[in-house]
Amino acid sequence: MKYIPEPFRIKVVETIKMTSRPEREKIMAAAGYNVFNIPSENVYIDLLTDSGTGAMSDNQWAGLQTGDESYAYCRNWYHFEETVKSITGMKYVVPTHQGRVAENILFSTILEKGMIVPNNNHFDTTRANVLANGGIPKDLVIEEGRDPEKTHPFKGNMDTARLDELLKTEGPRRVPIVFVTITNNSGGGQPVSMANIRDIRKVCDKYGVPLFFDACRFAENAYFIQQREKEFEKKRIAEIVREMFSYADGCTMSAKIDAIVNIGGFIAFNNSLWEAPIKEKLIQIEGFPTYGGLAGRDLEAVARGLEEVQNEEYLAYRVGQVRYLGDLLEKAGIPILKPTGGHAVYLNAQKFCPHILPAQFPGQSLAVNLYLEAGVRSVEIGSFMFAHTDKITGEVVYPDLELVRLALPRRVYTKAHIEYVAESVQQLFHKREQMKGMRIIDHRDSPLRHFIARLEFV
C-alpha cells in the first residue's frame, strides 16, 4: 500500500541519537538484557509501547494552559466527566492516573478469592491485577486469534460458546464480570467485531453478568468495525463508538493510549452499588474523586484527546502507518502476525528464530538483538511475559504465541523512521541463525517479571 501522509504538521521536534554497536552492547549488558532497563536517550527508534508516548496536539497543549488546579471540582473535571459520559454513556466516571490503577480499584472492589474473570485476552497488568486480587484470569479468544498465520478480520473476537459454557458451569457467583479488550493487545492488536460484542452481551444477559471493556484502543477498534463490517461502512466513528459502549456496563481505560496523552485513565460504570466503594478506594490511594491523581491540566488534555482520536482522517493515517510497516516486512519475507492490527506490528518470533525453544525466550532474544543491531527498542509478548508455573501440576504453561511487538507511538514517527525499522528487521533476519536463547537470572517467579528481571544469553 502507499503511505498515507500525516494529517498534521510538525511544530516541535526532539533530537534522537544513534549509538554505535559497541556502545549498544555495553548499554544492553548494563540493562541486564531487559529492554525496559535501557535509558531512553540511548534508544534511536522507541517502539517499546504506544502507551503515554504519543505526541499531543496544539489543541491539547493549549488546554494545559487552562488547567484549574483547585483540589476539588476544578473546571477541567467537568469537561473530563462530560466527555467520558458522552462517549461511553456511563452514569459514573472515576478518574485515575493510569489504566492499571483503574483495574486494581475495580478488581479489589468486586473480586473474591477464586473468582474467574474471562476475557478475549488479558494483557499483562490486567492479568496481574486479577491475580493480585485473588482472581483467576481466563482467556477465551477465538481459535483464529491463537494462530499468527491465519487471517480473519476480527481475530480479537471472544469465543462465545466457551464463554457460555464457562458461565453455565461456574455461574455468576464465581464469574462476577466479563471483560473484552478492544483492541486485543496480547493477540496482536486485533479488533473485536460489533457482531461479537452483541453476542457477548446476549450471553452476559443470559446469566446476569456485567460486561466491561478494557477500552484503551476503543477508537481504533471502531475504525476496524467501520472498515470491515458492511453494516457500519457508512457510519461515522462517533456513532460506532456509541453503539459499542451501549452494550457494556462499564469500562476501564488507560487514557495514555487512545486519548493520546502522557498520563491518565478512568473507570466508567453504571452500577450504583459500586460507586461508593470505588470512590473510597480511589480517595485512599489516588486522591479526591474529581482528580484521581491527575492535575487539572491533565484532565483537560485527556478530554480533548478523547474527542480528537475519533477523527476519521487521523484513524486512517494511524492504522495505515501500522499497515505500511507490516507490508514492508511481509514483502521482505519477515514472519509477522497477520493481519496487522491497529497500533503495532507483531513479529512472529517462533518463525523468526525457530531454533530457540520457548523455554529460552525466542521473543526476548529477538527484541534484544534488534536493539543491538539498530538501536530499535521493541517488547517481547510471549513466554518471557506470560509463561507461568501451574500451581496444581507444577508444569510450565507457555502462551500460544511468541511475539515481538513493534508498537508505534501516535503522531511521532515519519515514513523514513518506519522504513528504517523495516530495513533493520530485515538485516537481523539474515543473521537470525546466530541468535541465541536466553535465561532469567533473577525475579523468575514474578507475575510481571518482564519489567524487572535480568537475563543472560545461554
DSSP 3-state assignment of 376? strand
User: Residue length, the chain?
Assistant: 458
Q: Which residues contact 76 (CB under 8 A, 6 or more apart)?
A: 66, 67, 68, 296, 297, 299, 300, 303
C-alpha 234/C-alpha 166 separation (Å) is 36
C-alpha 154/C-alpha 194 separation (Å) is 10
* Residue position matching grid coordinates 464465581: 174
Whether residue 339 has a cis bond before it, omega within 30° of 0: yes
Q: Give, for 258, the enclosing helix (H) or strand (E).
A: helix 255-258
Query: What was the pLDDT predicted at 13?
Result: 94
Antiparallel, parallel or unpaired: β 136-139 and 116-119: parallel
Within 70-118, residue ranges assigned H as helices are: 75-88, 99-110
Read off the C-alpha cell for 408.
508505534
Nearest CA among 288, 329, 289 for reference residue 419: 329
Backbone angles phi, psi at 447, to 5 degrees: -65, -15
Nearest CA among 142, 194, 140, 199 for reference residue 170: 140
DSSP 3-state assignment of 275? helix
Give yes or no for a contact between 211 and 168, defined as CB atoms under 8 angstroms apart. no
Which tens digit of pLDDT belongs to each residue from 352-411? 999 999 999 999 999 999 999 999 999 999 998 888 777 778 788 888 889 999 999 999
Antiparallel, parallel or unpaired: β 250-254 and 211-214: parallel
Read off the C-alpha cell for 263.
498520563
Query: What was the pLDDT predicted at 1?
Result: 65
Query: What was the pLDDT predicted at 401?
Result: 84
DSSP 3-state assignment of 301? helix
Antiparallel, parallel or unpaired: β 265-269 and 92-96: antiparallel
Give yes or no for a contact between 274 and 110, defined as CB atoms under 8 angstroms apart. yes
Nearest CA among 219, 193, 225, 232 for reference residue 313: 219
Q: Which residues contact 451 (CB under 8 A, 6 or more apart)?
A: 36
The DSSP bridge partners found for residue 119 are 139
Angle at 415 (CA atoms; ends 409, 418), nearest 5 degrees: 60
Compute how many other C-beta atoms are within 10 angstroms of the C-beta atom of residue 94: 26
Read off the C-alpha cell for 192.
473485536
Which residue positions in the chain have pLDDT lower than 50? none
Query: What was the pLDDT predicted at 447?
Result: 77
Query: What was the pLDDT predicted at 4?
Result: 87
Give yes or no for a contact between 234 and 201, defined as CB atoms under 8 angstroms apart. no
User: What is the distance, to the nearest Å, from the Cα of residue 282 to the centroid of all Cα atoms in its chain?
Assistant: 23
Listed as own residue / partner, the contacts of 272-280 with beta carbons closer than 8 Å and 24 or more positions apart are 272/91, 272/92, 274/92, 274/109, 274/110, 275/92, 277/109, 278/92, 278/94, 278/105, 278/106, 278/109, 279/94
DSSP conformational letter for 381? E
Q: Which residues contact 195 (CB under 8 A, 6 or more apart)?
A: 229
C-alpha 453/C-alpha 440 separation (Å) is 7
Distances in Å between the Cα of 353 and the Cα atoms of 318, 369, 433, 441 are: 29, 11, 7, 22
Give yes or no for a contact between 264 and 250, defined as CB atoms under 8 angstroms apart. no
- The full set of domains in the chain, from first to last, is 21-50+312-457 (3.90.1150.10), 58-308 (3.40.640.10)
**108: burial class by Cβ within 10 Å (0-12, 13-18, 19+)?**
middle
Read off the C-alpha cell for 168.
453455565
Distances in Å between the Cα of 421 and the Cα atoms of 323, 329, 378, 382 are: 13, 9, 10, 21
Across the beta sheet with 379-381, the strand order is 344-348, 403-407, 379-381
pTM: 0.93
